[in-house]
Amino acid sequence: MTDVNRRIKIEVMDRIKRKDKMISLRSLGLSYGSIAKLFNCSRQRVHQIISGYKLKRNKETELLFERIKQRDDNQCQWGERCKGEEVWPGNLIIHHIDFNNENNNPSNLITLCKKCHLYFHSFNHVDKKIEKKLQTQKWREGIRKERIKIKCLNCGKIKKFYPYQAKIKFCDRKCHSEYQIKNWNKKAMKIYKLHRTGDSIQDLMKQFSMTKDGIYKAIQRAKKLSTS
Asked whether position 181 contacts Zn ion by CB under 5 A, the answer is no
Burial of 27 (0-12, 13-18, 19+ CB in 10 A): middle
Query: Given candidates 30, 126, 130, 155, which one binds Zn ion under the rule CB under 5 A?
Result: 155
Sites for Zn ion among residues 110-139 (CB under 5 A): 113, 116
Q: What is the nearest approach in angstroms of Zn ion to the Cβ of residue 111?
A: 9
How many residues bind to Zn ion according to rule CB under 5 A? 10
| Residue 109 in the binding site for Zn ion (CB under 5 A) | no
Among the listed ranges 74-82, 129-137, 200-208, 218-226, the one in contact with Zn ion (CB under 5 A) is 74-82
CA–CA separation, 169 vs 172, rounded Å? 9
Burial of residue 199 (CB within 10 Å: 0-12, 13-18, 19+) is middle
Contact 116/87 with Cβ under 8 angstroms? no
82 sits near Zn ion (criterion: CB under 5 A): yes
CB of 78 to Zn ion, least distance (A): 5
Dihedral angle over CA of 76, 190, 206, 176, nearest 10: -50
Residues that bind Zn ion (CB under 5 A): 76, 82, 95, 113, 116, 152, 154-155, 171, 175
